Amino acid sequence: MNRSSGILMPLSSLPSPYGIGTMGKSAFAFVDFLKAAGQRYWQLLPLVPAGAGDSPYSSYSTFAGNPDYIDLDLLTKYKLLKAKEIDETGWGNDPAQVDYEKIHEKRAPLLRLAFKRGWEQLDNEIETFRKNNRWVENYALYMAIKEHFDMLPWTEWPEEDIRMQRDNALRYWADRLRDEVNYHVFLQYIFYFQWQKLKDYAHKQGVKFIGDIPIYVALDSADVWSEPQFFQLDEKNVPKQVAGVPPDPFTADGQLWGNPLYNWEALERDGFGWWIRRVEGAQKLYDVIRIDHFRGFESYWSVPYGETTAKNGTWRPGPGMKLVGVLTSWFHDLDFIAEDLGYVTEGVRRLVQDSGMPGMKILEFAFDAHGDSDYLPHCIPYNSVCYLGTHDNNTVLGWVKETGKRDRDFAERYMHITEDEGWCWGMIRTGMQTCADLFVMQMQDILELDGRARMNTPGTPTGNWRWRMLPDAATKELAKKLQLYTRTFRRC
């Protein structure tokens, strides 16, 4: 990875007249902004269908694309929708927030109308898509059954045969819900068709995509339902142990994520084929893959199913280089980033080093006036990725407001923050001049937004993932300013 920089900007946060960012006009315009600003990378949050709490880190599938990101205007180009039908739909009045309830309510009838008009028209293209994406059959059937049972988790479906994936039940439900299965296949075809157009355009402009693979998948997902043998489940497909992180100075109870843990022995016997297929799927979307919670490959926190907190868990060994080595050798032409944040031990540091992947350094974690931090800019090595903050952090201005005076004064002295430049651009300058191969900024910090623009607050189940950039915020003048910083520190 050459010396470069990029912007973290969720696709959902793009401006659009239809309540949420999509793969349409504003996405292409943002690519143009990145190019004008001298940026080589656009980092996204997972593009998968959002699950509980509208979180892209809790999805019904690790392979599927989120139909919310399908651009409706582009569907009019192929006569699958009429402009009047889109314009007559009410999308809400707040351009700075995503109203997910309204989005789901309003988009569904339009997408079903597009399916009705386009299924036969696109028959050959969809058939080719099905052959090249075998995962889509399980996913489409899963979603069709889930909707039939009023969106209940598959563990609560009233029919045991289909809960347990018995062959006769699979054939029965696939035939009974054929139209619904086809609808979900159609949505995935449209999503990937639109994404490929955007990706091709970005590459022509010299922009590449960074995307996340969350280490765990949701229990309520097509992934666990269709391949339960690769997870720590009992004979009735009930989890034995679930994921989380232990208590720390910030969370007395730890964090109980609740995801089913992997059956690493079964995965290894299969040659880690499940993980290979997962990365192959992600490679169709992204040019660089950030592995979320990478430390879980070294050891992971295992909590008995049914616990209400993460306190009573234990550390268990992960697959380590047995898996990581398979991924790096199998995908030798793909760049990875190891998200090595959290409780980092010597074993985790050694695994990151052995993997050859760049780790992450967060400037918002660096400035402890009482002690040294590995994240201080002068400590950041070449083979790393420096961030102001991630989607889980506050914006720079929000961080400044919530940081204690001693730490804030130390940061101000260290970075030579001036009133004219301000905190956001002072930290951008600081990150730009580190030795890290890649420097990534949140778009909110380039726009100098306060804590109200924060994307996610870990541990809070609602109210997240809603921030949107206002129309015309990414101006030519702003791109020119960012390019000057980027060029000065040789990241263009």
- Residues with catalytic roles: 292, 339, 392
The backbone region for 254, taken as left when phi is positive above 0, alpha when psi lies in -120 to 50, beta otherwise, is: left
Please state, in angstroms and rounded to a whole number, the distance separating the CA atoms of residues 17 and 95.
8
| Residues β-bridged to residue 361 | 386
Of 394, 443, 447, nearest to 10 by C-alpha is: 443
CB 9 within 8 A of CB 30: yes
Report residue 267 as tokens: 């995965």
Strand order in the sheet with 384-387: 335-338, 288-291, 208-213, 41-43, 4-8, 438-442, 384-387, 359-362
Please state, in angstroms and rounded to a whole number, the distance separating the CA atoms of residues 86 and 336.
39
Question: How would you label 371-382 residue by residue, b for 16+ Cβ within 10 Å and e otherwise?
Answer: eeeebbbeebee
How far are the Cα atoms of 69, 104, 119 from residue 80, in angstroms, in the given order?
Answer: 16, 19, 10
